[in-house]
Structure 1
């Protein structure tokens, strides 16, 4: 069970957790061990089983991303770990700051295509507070990136906390145009987006299979769409499961900023590449953010004169 813990203190797991499964893109088996880590460690993946006898630690930060093609991939030298976004979303959504993750395989297992399996494992291991204050990344000025009609932005949040406003647009049923807004808390994460599964079109899957990709994708871990409907026998978990899953991806991608964000995120037709570009643009604009919290009782206490204020 999850422990009671103050949100202003850093956290880690109370015990180790092990998960196994198949990667959606590689089709290869993978085994994860999530273990407690010291305050200030952050989220660190270690790639095992490469055959050269050397472990390769990879800190989950934007600077270590090597690809956003279909998923987020971390890499350094010859080592890489793919499809980290759903696990990262589970850790951020449940306010877990420090975890050491051993990965025996090239990719994080797809599980059921959502973050639900990771949430279950994390909560079974327990979440415990550490004797160190949490540091937040507070948005002080808007930052925006665009690619044609698609765009994403971060802006100050008048009410504090982290807010998401995500809109997607696909031609025809069953997706069409969907938009959802939420304020992130562990409770809202569990209830609203943790169980939302990844999705794709059968026509695209057939092309990817011919290219040797999406080899582990199936009706067990992907909502597959063809002829205007989902082919999965169990149907959808939410009527707007598609936009909810995009919110899950946003949460996992923005976790690569390196600290929980205080701010408001909004996007239209976004994706991994645009989300990463937004994090990179933010970190390249020092005037747009500040790291706050730490020893402060109120993580917004360092707001300078003239900065945004609640309305």
Structure 2
């Protein structure tokens, strides 16, 4: 059967928050079956646990941030959630010493390294997937996202920036995880931003930890990072990375085709909420025989 996964051992890293600029320690801890992904703020007088849940994504300004009804926040979770999706991690406790996950290099690759170093452990409980059985779509002012039935998991995204740096490569990318590796094709794509946005972000308490070390920065014409891009179409690949992380906040791998145009964290979350509010559009499934599962999930990193 396809089993739930956690880590073999705890592992830690330190970094800065992209928006807060605060130094933060991150610790990933193995968790029992059916725990899900739980964040634990250890910097508060009493540690507070916040479970990844679409209903708690209550701030989507340039990131996905969980906010409880008492105001406890865990921000910029999408890159780590994306890495957890790529590795098929079902259960984990994530301790943080600030209100934001560290940005690391702006991609999911450093989190992949942590998962590889800690090792993956299978657990004595069936993994539960969410299989989409009817199309669900959200559209607002020309921006749209959609989940459709599909025997596997694939993502197709397009962006639309009228800018010289974006016009050098296609602004649409499709990744079918039956054929493509998350680690190789998506995890290294970094977040990006424009110089003209910096003043706005700083005035709104955002982007204080941003630098050329953890983001692609673009002026009116060029990419300012001296090393250039990791992929010719790194911008749209990062949007796919974000979408995978945002979708994994639902707590289970999706058996579906996700597509979108000019989508972001807010629209991705609205799509998840609409899916959960449409019970006839999805179902839980598990697999006694791994070969019965869609081939997209045969590519998960093997347990050592």
What is the TM-score when the length of structure 1 is the normalising length? 0.90
Matched, 1:172 2:163: yes
Residue in structure 2 matched with residue 54 of structure 1 by the alignment: 46
| C-alpha deviation, 1:173, in angstroms | 1.5
Instruction: Choose from 2, 11, 14 the match for 1:20.
Output: 14
Superposed CA RMSD in Å reads: 1.6
Contact preservation (8 Å) 1:93, 1:185: no
What is the TM-score when the length of structure 2 is the normalising length? 0.92
| C-alpha deviation, 1:212, in angstroms | 3.0
CA distance in 2, matches of 1:72, 1:43: 15
Q: Name stretches of at least 5 consecutive residues in structure 2 with no aligned partner.
A: 295-304
Instruction: Choose from 172, 181, 189 the match for 1:188.
Output: 181
Contact preservation (8 Å) 2:27, 2:94: yes
**SS in structure 1 at match of 2:237:** helix
Instruction: Choose from 94, 104, 110 the match for 1:111.
Output: 104
State the aligned residue count.
290
CA distance in 1, matches of 2:273, 2:287: 23
Residue in structure 2 matched with residue 270 of structure 1 by the alignment: 263
Residue in structure 2 matched with residue 38 of structure 1 by the alignment: 32
**SS in structure 1 at match of 2:115:** helix
CA distance in 1, matches of 2:59, 2:35: 24
Q: Name stretches of at least 5 consecutive residues in structure 1 with no aligned partner.
A: 1-5, 301-311
| C-alpha deviation, 1:48, in angstroms | 1.5
1:1-311 mapped onto 2 (5 Å cutoff): 8-50=2-44, 53-76=45-68, 77-157=70-150, 160-176=151-167, 178-184=171-177, 188-293=181-286, 298=292
CA distance in 1, matches of 2:183, 2:78: 16
